[in-house]
C-alpha cells in the first residue's frame, strides 16, 4: 500500500483523531506524540485535506490574519514614545 492509498482509506474519524493528537501533543490513550509521528501525521493530514477539498479555514495550521489586517488598516501610524531615564 502506498501513501496515496493510505490517505484515500482514511475516514473522517481517523482524520479528526489524528488532528486532535497533533493539537494536544498526545494520542487518545495518553501516550505522547513523537517528533517522527508529528511529521508523518502532519503530512497525512495535509494530503487528506487536499484530497477531500477541506475548506482553507478548517485546515491544519490555518491562521486567521483578517484581524491583523483590520488593525493595521485602522492604525494611523502614530505610536507613543516612552522615555526611560
Q: Would you list the domain boundaries of the chain?
A: 3-57
**Residues 58-84: pLDDT tens digits?**
998 888 888 765 555 556 677 777 778
Phi/psi at 60 (5° precision): -60, 135
> What is the three-class DSSP state of 26?
strand
pLDDT at res. 74: 55
Reported as a single tens digit per residue, the pLDDT across 8-19 is: 999 999 999 999
Phi, psi of 20 (to 5 degrees): -65, -40
Alpha carbons 62 and 25: distance in angstroms, whole number: 17
pLDDT digits (tens, 9 = 90+) for 22-51: 999 999 999 999 999 999 999 999 999 999
Amino acid at each position: 500500500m502506498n501513501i496515496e492509498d493510505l490517505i484515500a482509506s482514511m475516514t473522517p474519524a481517523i482524520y479528526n483523531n489524528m488532528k486532535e493528537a497533533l493539537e494536544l501533543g498526545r494520542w487518545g490513550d495518553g501516550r505522547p506524540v513523537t517528533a517522527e509521528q508529528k511529521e508523518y501525521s502532519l503530512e497525512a493530514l495535509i494530503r487528506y485535506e487536499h484530497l477531500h477539498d477541506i475548506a482553507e479555514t478548517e485546515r491544519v495550521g490555518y491562521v486567521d490574519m483578517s484581524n491583523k489586517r483590520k488593525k493595521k488598516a485602522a492604525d494611523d501610524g502614530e505610536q507613543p514614545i516612552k522615555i526611560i531615564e
